[in-house]
Amino acid sequence: MKQYSAEQIRNVAIVGHGGSGKTMLVEHMLYTAGATDRVGSVDAGNTQSDHDPLEIRRKISLGASILPCEWHGIKVNLIDVPGYPDFIGELHSVARVVESMIIVTEAKRDLDVGFDLAMEVAEEHGLAVCIFVNKLERDNADFEGLMETLHARYGRKVVDVQIPIGHQAAFSGVLDLLNMKVYKGRDRGVEIEEIPAGYAEEASRLRDKAMDAAAEGDDELALKYLEGVELTTEEIEHGLLIGIENARVIPVMVGSAQSGIGVATLLDRIIAELPSPVDMPKVYDDKPLAPRPDGPLAAFVFKTTADPFVGKISYVRVFSGTLKHDDHVLNMTSEKDERAHNLFYPHGKGQEVCQAAGPGDIVAIAKLSATHTGDTLSTAKDRVMIPPIAFPEPIYRVAITPNSKADEDKLGNALQRLQEEDPTFKYHRDAATHQEILEGMGDIHLDTLIEKMKSKFGVNVTVGEARIAYRETVRGNAKAQGRHKRQTGGKGQFGDCWIELSAAGRGEGFTFENKVVGGAIPKNFIPAIEKGIREAAERGLVAGYPLVDFKVTVYDGSYHDVDSNEQAFKTAGSIALHAAAEKAGVTVLEPILEVHVDVPDDCVGDVVGDLNGRRGHMQGMEPVAPGKTRVMAQVPMATMGRYALDLRSITKGRGRFRQSISHYSDLPHPEQERLVAEFAKHRASHETEH
């Protein structure tokens, strides 16, 4: 593929709700532009976008796929983005490297969750947006109802630039309001016709509205339009481009991703009205990053894939300068030198060798050792740094157990590789529950990652419920002795200490103080007492969870010249802690989450009721957008295990939430009794075995 200037490039994300037809739309765009010799099918599993075996089996997109094509001398980098909310990380990644989003929506009155989500992300990243109305051939297609909804929500921003010819089964073509022509046929077999008599009046009215919107974008056009001079097609396109760049205009285009009707006119509108990297340069540190080929090198890694055979592939958008094959570049995050030895243009699962990529273009580099998603590649001379991507925090978690020793040995590497590929996925070993915890954006997200773990890395695991990391703490103050004496015939063991145990404030941790005087305990044994107390606290006293927020003062004791040693005093410290805690009283603490839930106003009552049922304490509510409210609450983690799935059900997928640890609070007494009884039973069983 030849090298294109920034003016000759359009970077466009194809987004929308899962099942809206994005992948099939991309298939027809590639075929129409001559980038492929056939149109694949999602059902047949042979599309350019969905080439991963899991995507083929599930029949959904799981990762963003980069698919370039050329249309009338312009390179269009199409990026097919997954539509399910579980893969929201892909949408945020792609939004950082494109200028435009085409939001695909079905021709129906109600807008889907994926539509709203795409609009929010586009607004957050300052992207140009256009809407492609799909599935007009369906029996229940309701184009008029959809347009009423769009106009009610976005007002005059929404501008028709195309309307459908025919209704439902009779849908046969697209009336382009700028050219005032009808385009029938599909893909490469488009025929241009004059406007039928029954559409002329409506087309003229809507073209005037498009002209109004175009005139508002440019002072010269506005003056000409106010003088009563009709704008040319080129002037309307120019005015709309400015309006789209400034987020004042959202053009609406129509067609069928299944049949290919309207695809050629969609490509026309992309190159005429959607911005190039020159039209919308990215701004960082309040300065535009001008897309100059001779400018400082700034290449941003927005996606990483991990393959056990091919290795790591880094997908890169060049914002400034020129990235050349075999260049040495500086990773600005790790400060490591990297070599762009394997530079290529991605084509879905295929690739084409690239010798040099200029500003505005998207390429991939294989086998960068110290580079991850969100890193900037520059040079030691230029040192340009682009801020990393802000990914949403995980909201769903499960525990996993390797099925065999071989699986256990490979698990760490597999998890690390998967996290490199997907920054919305996190994992850790919970020291309190002794579980391997996986965290992600939902059940589909984690199910997919676990399947990848097996298919890509040969690691088999059993999935279970993630236990809650409770804590223990003391209620009051107490003094107690810890005395350890053992005589086995030879040299014995002797350690004796007196401690004072007291409760500390929440979050203060463990404090140890030595107030022994007069050599009652030699100084070299004091650290052993502290170690014994720490280890006993980590094991837990009544329920098997770490003891936190307490203070221990050792103030007296005794020793034996021959039998005393560090191990004896370590054991004595543990005995003393158990004895003092029994007197002071121990309570179990549970983690409390700070939860913010953004929901449509008509769901607020149901969401509040559900949170109350989870022992939540309401902290307030506030409007966050027209028709949306944020519900704030503090809720025990123990009740939130399936909340991501339950909220999806309550709000029909329209609710979103984020959560973070707020504090620890006393667990209700019945739950405490259950945990204490379970721990006692487990300990008794363990002692019997040994």
| Closest by CA position to 42, among listed 76, 8, 16, 80 | 80
User: Residue length, the chain?
Assistant: 690
Residue 381 to residue 317: CA distance in whole angstroms: 20
By the 8 A CB rule, do 536 and 518 touch? Answer: no
Residue 687 has pLDDT above 70, yes or no: no
Q: What is the pLDDT of residues 521-545, one digit of tens each?
A: 999 999 999 999 999 999 999 999 9
**Are 292 and 276 contained in the same domain?**
no
Residues 341-363: what's their mean pLDDT?
91
Q: What is the pLDDT of residues 102-151, one digit of tens each?
A: 999 999 999 998 999 999 999 999 999 999 999 999 999 999 999 999 99
List, as one string, the DSSP characters of 61-129.
--S-EEEEEEETTEEEEEEE---SGGGHHHHHHHHTT-SEEEEEEESSSSPPHHHHHHHHHHHHHT-EE
Has residue 370 been placed in a domain?
Answer: yes
Residue 420 to residue 177: CA distance in whole angstroms: 46
**Are 347 and 408 contained in the same domain?**
no
Fill in the DSSP letter of residue 547.
B
Q: What is the pLDDT of residues 615-657, one digit of tens each?
A: 999 999 999 988 899 999 999 999 999 999 999 999 988 899 9
| pLDDT value at residue 688 | 59
**Are 134 and 247 contained in the same domain?**
yes
Task: Give me the amino acid identity at 333.
Answer: T
**Are 323 and 411 contained in the same domain?**
no
Last residue of a domain, one of 320, 343, 378: 378
Per DSSP, helices labelled H in 277-426 are 405-421
Residue 560 to residue 22: CA distance in whole angstroms: 80
**Are 628 and 541 contained in the same domain?**
no
| pLDDT value at residue 548 | 95
Indicate the pairing of strand 283-284 with strand 350-353. Answer: unpaired
Distances (CA, A) of 164 to 186, 197, 253, 254, 326: 14, 14, 9, 6, 50
Q: What is the pLDDT of residues 470-488, one digit of tens each?
A: 999 999 999 999 999 987 7
**Are 568 and 419 contained in the same domain?**
no
**Are 254 and 113 contained in the same domain?**
yes
Sign of CA dihedral 270, 273, 275, 278: positive
- The number of C-alpha atoms within 13 Å of 375 and in the hemisphere containing its C-beta is 23
**Are 119 and 250 contained in the same domain?**
yes
Residue 408 to residue 667: CA distance in whole angstroms: 34
Q: What is the pLDDT of residues 165-214, one digit of tens each?
A: 998 999 999 999 999 999 998 888 889 999 998 999 999 999 999 999 99
**Are 610 and 574 contained in the same domain?**
no
| pLDDT value at residue 53 | 77
**296 falls in which pLDDT band (50, 70, 90)?**
very high
What is the CATH number for 290?
Answer: 2.40.30.10
Last residue of a domain, one of 467, 491, 510: 467
User: Looking at per-residue confidence, does 570 or 491 come out higher?
Assistant: 570
What is the CATH number for 206?
Answer: 3.40.50.300
**Are 260 and 313 contained in the same domain?**
no
Residue 690 has pLDDT above 60, yes or no: no
**Are 492 and 611 contained in the same domain?**
no
Domain count, the chain: 5
**Are 82 and 44 contained in the same domain?**
yes
Query: Which residue bears the tokens 């022509």?
Result: 181
| Rg of the chain, C-alpha, whole Å | 32
Residues 362-374: what's their mean pLDDT?
93
Q: What is the pLDDT of residues 315-330, one digit of tens each?
A: 999 999 999 999 999 9
Residue 324 to residue 340: CA distance in whole angstroms: 7
Residue 217 has pLDDT above 80, yes or no: no
Q: What is the pLDDT of residues 59-107, one digit of tens each?
A: 888 889 999 999 999 999 999 999 888 999 999 999 999 999 999 999 9
Residue 341 belongs to domain spanning: 285-378
